[in-house]
A and B are shown apart, each in its own frame.
Chain A
Amino acid sequence: MELNYWKFMREALEFGNIALINNEVPVSAILVDNDSGKIWYRAHNMTNKLINGTLHAEFQIYNYLLENEENHLKIWQNSTLFVTVEPCIMCASMLDQVGIKKVVFGCPNERFGGNGSVFKINYKSNYKIIPGVGHKDAISLLRKFYIGENKHNPNSINKKKRVLNIDSFPILNYERYISRDEFISIWGVENVKIFDNNYFLEFNDNGEVLCDDGNKKVKI
């Protein structure tokens, strides 16, 4: 069974709102079984509350499964991670070491990204990387957080003058994360113009890709 990427990403994005309420950087993730579509766990960053810069959503999921599932590594090895922001280099390496199969992310992580933005760390398990599912939503979530002041950052600047911008988004350069052929194998040759022109991937409520001409819908 092929997972409906947008459906699960929406779940991850919704969980990001919980991170916002908890005053954590809203990066959230869910781990989903590749065969059954069962959601093993949902998590968001806990770096502020637990004053631990390594407790990203991915590590929260790892620690939870380690505690609660005897065969936790087998679970990782047959799962897809849906994460709103590209995993950082640390998490990308962790995912590589536990042997995940696939990572679907929303927006890139320009400064720290380990799935292609800075490095592409899938040396060992060679997991698949699917960028740009929920790109705009993931950025909007982060913007909501950053217009508030991050009190935990020692270099925090006064951000009172900032307003939430929901009209413009940075372009996602697909080829940094995925090859054209891989893109076609996931989204179909009819959507390859999204890759070629770096359009945003947009979906209808059923998780079907909306082509840029607006009316043609393609089932994934």
Chain B
Amino acid sequence: MYKTTDTSGNHLLNIIFAPLEFNDNINSYDSIHATINEKLIDEKFVLEKKQIPMNKPLDKNINDEWSKQYWPIVWKGNPMIQDMNELSKTINMSETYAHIDKLVQLSKENEQTCKYENPTIVIFVDPRTNETKSITYDQKTSHNPIKHPVVDAINEISSNELKRRQVEQIHDRNEKNYLCLNYHVYMTHEPCVMCAMALLHSRISRLVYIKPSLKTGGIGKTSGHHEMIHISCELNWKYEAFQYIDEEVFKQIKDIDENINV
């Protein structure tokens, strides 16, 4: 609440009372009015229904504008922007472009050769060495619906690592090694809940995907059932997830049936 003075010098107390849904019918407004009227027998009041912005103001100018227009708000800086600024320092864009280009190129090749029916492709990269650890295609079938490219990638990387340890005779039980620790993963399509969680179990640090899976995806704010897996189990581990926004790239990746779990 805050105090103002009207043109005749009367003090006014402004109070935000209750949120009404956008399409809320007039009845709830009336019932609120009646309730207040009942309690404040001697006081004058005006009940107004006002529309306000859904999101927080994202910069100081908008903040000041909205303060005048709707309600006084104190600007304390935008934590989201601060986070993004910090984050952007850690992202090597030329590497990101290279892996996205690779996805586009492989997608085109696959479309020409028709080798794999489903268009999803996944690349796992170890960012410390920029080494590509696996490239997998979606090979799920009606007989094996769980053969998703993320699961295949993790299986491939683990069997390679097991072989390496055998050849190099590594028996060091103290080797602190989560399989895909801090890896970066690039995908043509947003992973399903199962695969988003498989990535979390494998301790990756970053996921970049091109096309969202609005019905089955486990990452996007508006995908699937809004699980946002990468940040939902953060007690144990979380990873950054980005959708790569570029119209040209987007156009070159084939759409898939919205019911498919990527």
Contacts and interface: CB of A to CB of B under 8 A. Distances in A.
A52 B174 contact: no
A98 B179 contact: no
A197 interface: no
Contacts of A97: 145-146, 194, 261
A53 B192 CA distance: 17
B158 A52 contact: yes
A94 B235 contact: no
A90 B197 contact: yes
A59 B144 CA distance: 12
Interface string B204-241: 00000000000000100000010101001101100000
A88 interface: yes
A89 B233 contact: yes
Given A93-B197, A111-B233, A119 B227 contact: yes
Nearest to A49: B162
Contacts of A162: none
A98 B146 contact: yes
A204 interface: no
Interface string A138-165: 0000000000000111100000000000
Contacts of A123: 225
Most buried by B among A50, A52, A118: A52
Interface residues of A, number: 28
A90 B145 contact: no
Dominant secondary structure of chain A at its interface with chain B = loop
Contacts of B227: 89, 119
B2 to A, nearest CB: 40
A51 interface: yes
Contacts of A54: 151, 154-155, 198, 201-202
Contacts of B201: 47, 53-54, 88, 90
Contact of B233 (A91, A93, A118): A118
Contact of A89 (B145, B154, B229, B235): B229
A183 to B, nearest CB: 24
A90 B194 contact: yes
A114 B192 CA distance: 14
A151 B174 contact: yes
Contacts of A98: 145-146
A154 B233 CA distance: 18
Most buried by A among B143, B174, B198, B229: B198
Contacts of A94: 146, 194
B182 to A, nearest CB: 11
Contacts of B146: 62, 94, 97-98
Contact of A53 (B174, B202, B235, B261): B202
A218 interface: no
Interface of B: 143-146, 151, 154-155, 158, 161-162, 173-174, 176-181, 192-195, 197-198, 200-203, 218, 225, 227, 229, 232-233, 235-236, 261
30 contacts: A51-B161, A52-B158, A53-B178, A53-B179, A54-B154, A62-B146, A66-B144, A73-B145, A88-B197, A89-B193, A89-B194, A89-B229, A90-B201, A91-B194, A93-B194, A93-B218, A94-B194, A97-B145, A98-B145, A111-B236, A112-B197, A118-B232, A118-B233, A119-B193, A119-B225, A119-B232, A123-B225, A151-B173, A152-B177, A153-B176
Closest 9 CB pairs of A and B: A90-B197, A93-B194, A53-B201, A52-B158, A93-B193, A89-B197, A154-B176, A54-B198, A53-B202
Interface of A: 47, 50-54, 62, 66, 73, 88-91, 93-94, 97-98, 111-112, 114, 118-119, 121, 123, 151-154
Given A54-B151, A94-B146, A111-B235, 16 more contacts: A51-B177, A53-B198, A66-B144, A73-B145, A88-B197, A90-B193, A93-B193, A93-B194, A93-B197, A97-B145, A118-B232, A118-B233, A119-B232, A123-B225, A151-B173, A154-B178
